[in-house]
Structure 1
C-alpha cells in the first residue's frame, strides 16, 4: 500500500509528455535531413550521390522507429495515468479514514481492530459483543474495498509497464527480458565499480541504477519526517546497497552519475534527486534499516565512505 501511495505520478505524467515532445522533434529532424539529401541530386551525382540518398532514406526510416516508440510510450502513459491517479487517491484517502477511526491497516489492505477499539467495546459489558461485531463488520468492509483498489492499482500499473516495454521492445537495446537488479551490497558494489570505470556510463548501467532507485526512493512523507528529525524505517538492504555504491563509485563517479541521470528527462531528474536523497538517508542516524529477521542497523555519518566524509 505504501508503495502505491508514494508513486510519483506527476513525474510519470511529465515523462509521458517528454516522450511525446521528443518524438515530434526527432521526426522533424529526420525529415529535414532526408529532404536535404533528396535535394542533392543536382550537385551530388554518381554512385556516391545515390549512396548518400539511399543512406538518408534508411536513416530516416530507422529513426521513425524511435519516434514511433516514443509516441507509443507517451500514449500508454496518457491512457493509463487517470486510472492510476484515481486508485492512488482513493487508497490514500481510505487509509486516512480507516486509521482515523482507530483501525490498523496492513500493507496488503487487511484491516483489524486496534487494542483501543477492543478495550472501548469491552468496557460496555452489556453491549460488548454487539459493538465488537459491528466494528469487525466495518473492518471487513473496509478491507474488501481497499484490497479491490490495491488490485486495480497493481493491474493498471502492470498494463502501463507492459505497454511501455512493448513500445520500446523493437529498438536496439530495448526490452530483452533482463532480470531485475536486486537491492544488495553486492549489486551496489558492482554498479558502483562500473560507474567509476566509465567516463560515459553505459545505458544498461543507468537503467539498472534507475531500477534500484525506483525501489528504494522514499515517499515525500518519509523525506519530510527525516528532515523534521523523526525516525524512519527502511529495508536494511537499502542502506547496504547505497553504502557500497557510493564507496565503489567514489565522489567523482557519484557526481558523473548524477549528471548523466539528469540527461534522461523528467524521470532522470527524479532519479538524480533520489540518488542525492540516498546520501541523506545513509548518513542520518534517525534512519533505521530493518533486516528480514527484524534486527536493525542504523544510518549515521560514520556510514558514509571516508572519501565522502573528506
Structure 2
C-alpha cells in the first residue's frame, strides 16, 4: 500500500496478497452466460456470480481480507461496522471463522433476511435510522463502547484489495473482455475492479451502474467532486450509500462512465435474470443489466463482464409482489 493525498491507497500487490489470505474462506465463483440476454442486448455477456459466494455476496472477500489481516492483539476486541446488509453479514461470517466478536450497526429498514443472516453468523446488531447521518452517529457510540476494530464497508484499503480479487478471477475465467460493468453505491467493488483492471487489463473499460433514485456517484462523476445524498430511496437497498475519499480516488481516475437505471428498469432486469438464468439475485445486482439494456449502443458487439454482487433476497418481499 502507498500513501497519497493523506490516504492509504491499496496496490495490486495487495490484491494478490488478499487472494492468498482469503482463499480458504471464499469460493471461486462461476461465470455464467445467457444466449437470451446476449440476443436481447446485442453483446456477449459474462456474469461473474458472486450471488454464489460465501455469505451470498462479494463483500465476504473484503471482509475476510480485513479480519484475517489483523494481528492477534488487534483481533482480540473484535471488529465493528455499519452496513445495510451484505457487508454486515460478510464481516460477521469472517469474524465467526476467526472466532472473534462482530458488532454491526444496521438501518431498522434493512431486509429481514439480511438481519437474520447477520445474527446467524454470530453478529451483534444495533439498529439505526435509515440515513448516513444516523448510521455514522450510532456507530460512533458502538465503537466507543466496544473498542472494536472498524472495518468500513467500502472506504477501507483492506476491503478494496479484497474486492479486487473478484475481477482478477473474472479475467482469468474469460478471455478478451472489452468492458466490465459493476454496481456502485459506496464504491468498494468498483474500486477493487479499477485497482485490478488498471494493472492487468488497462484497455478494459469500466462502467459503474447506479439507480437513478440514488445517483450521487453519477452526479459526482460529472461534477468532478463528491456529491453525497443522505437518505435516497431505491429498491436497490445495497446502493444507497455515498462515495468516500478513497473510493472516489478510483472512480475519478479509472471509471469510463457511470450509467443509471430507473426503478422499474431495475425490477424488470432482476425479474428477467431470475426467469432466464434461473438464479437468485438481489435488486442491487440487477442494476448493471438494467443499464446495459438501457444503453445498448455502448455495449453492442462487445464482450462484457457483468459482476452480480449478491443474492441475499427477502423472499417474502420481492419487488414485483403486490400489497
TM-score using structure 1 length: 0.28
Structure with the higher fraction of residues in strand conformation: 2
Quick check: which one's helix share is greater? 1
- Structure possessing the higher relative contact order (Cα contacts under 8 Å, 6 or more residues apart): 2
